[in-house]
Amino acid sequence: MMARAAARYELLLINLWSLVLILIVSLVDAWPARVVLGLPFLLFFPGYVLVASLLPRRSDLEAGERLALSVGLSVIITSGMGLILSVAWEIRLYPILVGLTAFVAVLSVVGWYRRRKVAEEDWPVSILSLLLGDRGPHNVLESILSVLLVLAVVGGGATLAYAVVNPRAGEAFTEFYLLGAEDLPGELAAGEHLTVTMGIVNHEREVMTYTIEPLMGQYSLPPIGPIALGDGEKWEGEVTVVPAQPSARTRLTEPVAVPVGEGAAPVTALKVESALALEAGDRILIGEEVALVQSIEGNTVMLEAGARADHPSGEGVVELQRAEFRLFENRGVGDGGATSLGLWVGKDRLCARVRHEGPDPAGYQIDVRVSGGQGGGPVAVSATGPADQPAGEVWAPELVYPFSEMNEVRLTLHSGDQVLYEASEPAPYPSVYVWLAVT
């Protein structure tokens, strides 16, 4: 009688088990319960209901064969669903839970419908009956072997199950991109608008608030934001910059003749009419060729990589202006978020926007410790704001440190003796830019 009762209600119990697992995962942070309920859910139920729908008769399979096939098919189904999610979306806990629950529910209905057409005496032995040895002494050895097989397969798939039921958070990052950069004009008149379409995608595993700060040369323009995004959400919008000053312009006083032949070096020195408006680090346009200024000696401009094309005397040399867009991450810090901190970390500098929100004036200090730089030990820099910053005022310090591709920046924000925010930033924050010749 136990075998028949278990076989009658086992599909219903499997679905109730699945619903209980969803409730525990959603409402209770109980890791042991997740593992205990999640292992059968991932490594047995999907395959078992599939076998039950395809082979509803006891005579179709031996109990041990049915058990082994259920476990093997479950591993394949769970892995296949993970593969589909990774291509169509991403592997996350709730999509897998919902997907497998729906799969189990649909196949349970199919299995129940097909089992109704089978004589009750030919119903398959349920897993409960098999584990309790309800089939009689002559099948004890088969039951033991079946249980050992289940334990072996479950042990092999435990890592997969744990990763799905209790996934580790992946790398947290933010996408920041510029659309249609190849179609932007390379030349713009001072006072004209340059409008670009930018996008932000939040992969920080939490709700984030962003601000885009445009810069034209070294001058900050009005920021865009705040832009609040949940995890996985995307924003796209137009950002406009207006260059105010024309680019520095001069002309070649001597032609540039690049040597030809194997091993010929590019020309690194340019003679120009005036180099007063140029400086080391400028990016310049020589005719249609772009070069980087390494140093200035009188009216001679030394190039970092050298010119690689011929240029006649009198050809124009134009300073290119950099329109940069920095993405600041904003957060409330201190007691009840009484201070708003906007942060952008670059390879050679850190920019902060500290807004005091409290009722009484306050003073702030930022300490930065940079490690992992090239050729030297850690570097410490700091900045101190006004002693009595009133509510609503913004303090915008910029801290410069040695350039490196591999800096790790440790930031601490103080207000008096209280530490409001402390974090380590191992990589630069997002920034994009375009170069313009401004007439």
Tally the domains of the chain: 3
Question: pLDDT tens string for the chain (439 positions)?
Answer: 444 445 567 788 888 888 888 887 777 766 677 777 777 787 788 888 888 888 888 777 777 777 778 888 888 888 887 777 766 665 666 777 888 888 888 888 888 888 888 777 777 766 655 544 444 444 555 555 555 555 555 555 555 545 544 544 556 778 888 887 667 777 777 778 878 888 888 888 788 889 888 887 767 778 888 888 888 888 888 888 888 788 888 888 888 787 876 667 787 788 878 878 888 888 888 888 888 888 888 888 888 877 788 888 888 888 888 888 888 888 888 777 678 888 888 888 888 888 887 777 888 888 888 876 555 667 888 888 888 888 888 888 888 887 766 567 888 888 888 888 888 887 788 888 888 888 7
Same domain, 427 and 345: yes
* Residue 303 is assigned to a structural domain of this protein: yes
CATH code for the domain in which residue 275 is found = 2.40.30
Domain span at residue 316 reads: 249-320
Where a domain ends, among 121, 144, 165? 165
What contacts 325, CB < 8 A, 6 or more positions away?
Answer: 176, 178, 196, 198, 212, 213, 214, 215, 239, 431, 432, 433
Same domain, 189 and 334: yes
Q: Quick check: pTM over 0.85?
A: no
The pLDDT value given to residue 138: 44
The pLDDT value given to residue 87: 66
Q: CA torsion 68→72→74→75, rounded to 10°?
A: 140
Same domain, 12 and 110: yes
The pLDDT value given to residue 108: 85
Same domain, 334 and 399: yes
CATH code for the domain in which residue 389 is found = 2.70.50
* Residue 352 is assigned to a structural domain of this protein: yes
The pLDDT value given to residue 299: 85
Taking alpha carbons only, the member of 63, 102, 61 closest to residue 81 is 102
Give the integer Cα–Cα distance in Å for 308 and 266: 5
Bridge partners for 371 per DSSP: 408
The pLDDT value given to residue 153: 53
Rounded alpha-carbon distances, angstroms, from residue 82 to 42, 70, 72: 11, 18, 16
Same domain, 39 and 136: yes
Same domain, 343 and 430: yes
* Residue 439 is assigned to a structural domain of this protein: no
Residue entry with tokens 């291509």: 87
The pLDDT value given to residue 324: 85
Same domain, 255 and 365: no
Same domain, 57 and 90: yes
Same domain, 267 and 384: no
